[in-house]
Amino acid sequence: MRKFEIRKATSQDIPLIRELCYRVWPQTYASILSQDKIDYMLEYMYSVASLQGQMENGSQFLLVYDGKEPVGYAAYLHKGDNIYKLDKIYVLQSQQGKGTGRFIVDYVIDQIKQQGATALQLQVHRQNKARNFYEKLGFVVIEEKDFDIGDGFFMNDYVMEKRLRNQG
């Protein structure tokens, strides 16, 4: 049995988040997005200033470890009306299929249920095979949406949601 641990990230962890991002992100999207869009989105979402701003605006970043090795990261935030958004979840390719992603999602759900959450939403690119992973965890597509992120680029995503049972 693997022993994963999650640690809440701070602005001090931005270099590690960026390092993990650059090890995961380009490979994840190489077959889906053009290189110029990948470059734009990396700067848009993962520059030091962007990550700092996300943290300051309520995103809770998490780092996941397999033993002592950092193997992934995630971020979530409160959208309102007891709905939270899993804004980011990425694990190293070598970790995929080992329960790391499920561990992260379960952790986030445990955290947000304590805050009264009734649903967890996320966005996944319409061509990303991760959609199957999310469906296995109980997420369903609730909307197909194109998000304008500037510079003529759009994120062509599914919005997925998992309804959470109230405790008690």
d(CA 84, CA 30): 28
The predicted-structure confidence for 72-90, as pLDDT tens digits, reads as follows 999 999 999 999 999 999 9
Grouping H, G, I as helix, E, B as strand and the rest as coil, residue 118 is coil
The predicted-structure confidence for 14-44, as pLDDT tens digits, reads as follows 999 999 999 998 888 888 888 888 888 888 8
Structure confidence at residue 34 (pLDDT)? 84
Please tell me what DSSP assigns to residue 152. Answer: T
Please tell me what DSSP assigns to residue 47. Answer: S
- Pick from 101, 46, 57, 48: nearest CA to 79: 57
Looking at every residue in the chain, the average pLDDT score rounds to 92
pLDDT of residue 1 exceeding 70: no
d(CA 34, CA 12): 31
d(CA 66, CA 57): 28
Structure confidence at residue 63 (pLDDT)? 98
Tokens of 109: 């759900």
Structure confidence at residue 151 (pLDDT)? 78
Q: How confident is the model at residue 142 (pLDDT cuts 50, 70, 90)?
A: very high
Domains in the chain, CATH or no CATH each: 4-163 (3.40.630.30)
Question: Which residues in 105-134 are b (16+ Cβ under 10 Å) and which e?
Answer: bebbbebbbeeebebbbbbbbeebebbebb
